[in-house]
Chain A
Amino acid sequence: MVIERIKDVIGQVLDIDFKEHGDQIDIFNCEEWDSMNHMRLILEIERVFSISLSDDEVLDMTSFKGICKIIKGHLNND
């Protein structure tokens, strides 16, 4: 469920079809994932999952897998 919501958020904010990119999506292989969209993505993740991310976490969220790991860490600690 959480994974699907993360995919939805990424697709929505980056304005892409997540399925076309797949789970391997990251900042290096997705042109739409630029610095401004990254900040929009962070704000949306914080809103949707009701979490607050540190600066280091913001900069570590450079891939779908990395985002999943960080969000799950927050949700498990709550």
Chain B
Amino acid sequence: MTNSVSILGYFIRPLTVSDVTDDYLKWFDDDEVLRFLEINKTKNDVSSLKDLINYVKRFEVSNDYLFGIFDNSKHIGNITINHIDNDRGTFDMGYLIGNKDYWGKRAGEAGLVFGLRFAFEDLGLRKIFGGIYSKNLTARFLSKKIGFVEEARLKEKGYVDGELDDVIIYTMTRKQWKHLYSGKYDFKF
């Protein structure tokens, strides 16, 4: 596991149960924050601090990783690395900027780039397959800006705003990562 890393002015480190606060819990009560997240479909799964502690604890015993994104000591978002398949070298990633004051301030970019570096360089994985709802244009734009490739469209995979929506599969290989990001971002360990 990695220690705190600084990128684009944010600090990113593994999230622990000591990071579970009322402010963090409030993210799960905000429809705008949850709009495109799978957790939105099971909102009642996280309705108390105890539920949130259990959610964070799950990562201590699973193959997945959960990191917090911080502005100094303020917890503003998360990044997860999941569905890791070590045999095939593949994984998925998710991010959430729960504190809306940080939308449009490159916090999502910091989280995604951190996650890609961690998965490709520390875990030695080979390719990310990430799914984004087609209506989530800001996330799709960010994926494009970061250099993901739109590789597939899964028709009517899930629901957004009560209606069926497609999921777009975005990918990036370790080779593409190295080509795009060699020296581009300043990581401070």
Interface residues of A (CB under 8 A from B): 27-28, 33-39, 55, 58-59, 62
Contacts and interface: CB of A to CB of B under 8 A. Distances in A.
Chain B interface SS verdict (over half): helix
A55 B134 contact: yes
Interface band, chain B: 10 to 19
A59 B144 contact: yes
Given A27-B145, A59-B144, A62-B144, A35 B134 contact: no
A59 B138 contact: no
Contacts of B109: 34
A36 B137 contact: no
B76 to A, nearest CB: 15
B17 interface: no
B41 interface: no
Contact of B137 (A34, A37, A39, A62): A39
Contact of A34 (B104, B134, B139): B104
Query: Which of B134, B140, B145: most chain A CB closer than 10 A?
Result: B145
